[in-house]
Amino acid sequence: MELLNGIKERRSVRKFQDEEISVADIEKIVDVARFAPTWKNTQTARYNLVLDKAVIARIADEAVLGNEWNQNIIKNLPALVVQTTVDKRSGYERDGSFTTSKGTHWQSYDAGLCGEAFCLAAHGFGYATVIMGIFDEAKVAEIISIPEGESVSALIAIGHAAEEPAAPKRKEVADLLRVIK
């Protein structure tokens, strides 16, 4: 089945072809990603598409906490998606209190679901991605001027793949699944 293969075949790609990204294609990807499940359907994920090479280079140089691995991925990218989430909605009651003992956890949970939906949709449209978690949140927010009340959740590189990485080894089902009878 197409869906099942898509989930298994999507890979994190870290080398991309040097070509322009069509905004219309990214709109198609977000059109699919917006169907990800979220806390009370709050839909707090936002996708900030950075196409300006100078801005992408600034993020690579100034906002990866000195992590050369991510710096090398980002510096030559055709496009970088800065995924942000609206604060204080996911996991919150209307009066501002937390709904559960897990506090702010649900905002990140929603961001992860939306990030995966974005990457799978990108894969479906022939684009490659890698989610990056090693970045300087405040610096990224400053460089792209994210709106007040949003937090940077992840950086997602996107483009056409210039490599075909093998799937990193997965744990066995027996190591992951516990059946409680």
Ligand X SMILES: Cc1cc2nc3c(=O)[nH]c(=O)nc-3n(C[C@H](O)[C@H](O)[C@H](O)COP(=O)(O)O)c2cc1C
By CB under 6 A, name the binding residues for ligand X. Answer: 11-12, 14, 69-70, 73, 130-134, 167-168
The sheet carrying 79-86 orders its strands as 45-50, 79-86, 150-159, 128-132
Min CB(50)–ligand X separation in Å: 17
- Residue closer to ligand X (CB basis): 94 or 170: 170
75 and 115 in contact (C-beta within 8 Å)? no
Nearer to ligand X, 95 or 172 (CB): 172
Q: How many CB atoms lie within 10 A of CB 47?
A: 19
Q: Which two tokens stand for residue 38?
A: 């979220």
Closest separation between CB of residue 152 and ligand X, Å?
13
Please tell me the distance from the alpha carbon of residue 153 to that of residue 82, in angstroms, as a whole number.
8
| Shortest separation between residue 131's beta carbon and ligand X, angstroms | 4
Q: Kindly tell me which of 132 and 144 has the beta carbon lying closer to ligand X.
A: 132
**Residue at shortest CB range from ligand X:** 133
Please report how close the Cβ of residue 87 comes to ligand X at its closest, in angstroms: 19
- Residue 93 beta carbon to ligand X: minimum distance, rounded to whole angstroms: 27
Instruction: Return d(Cα 70, Cα 132) in angstroms, integer.
Output: 7
Give the nearer residue to ligand X in terms of CB position, either 66 or 168.
Answer: 168
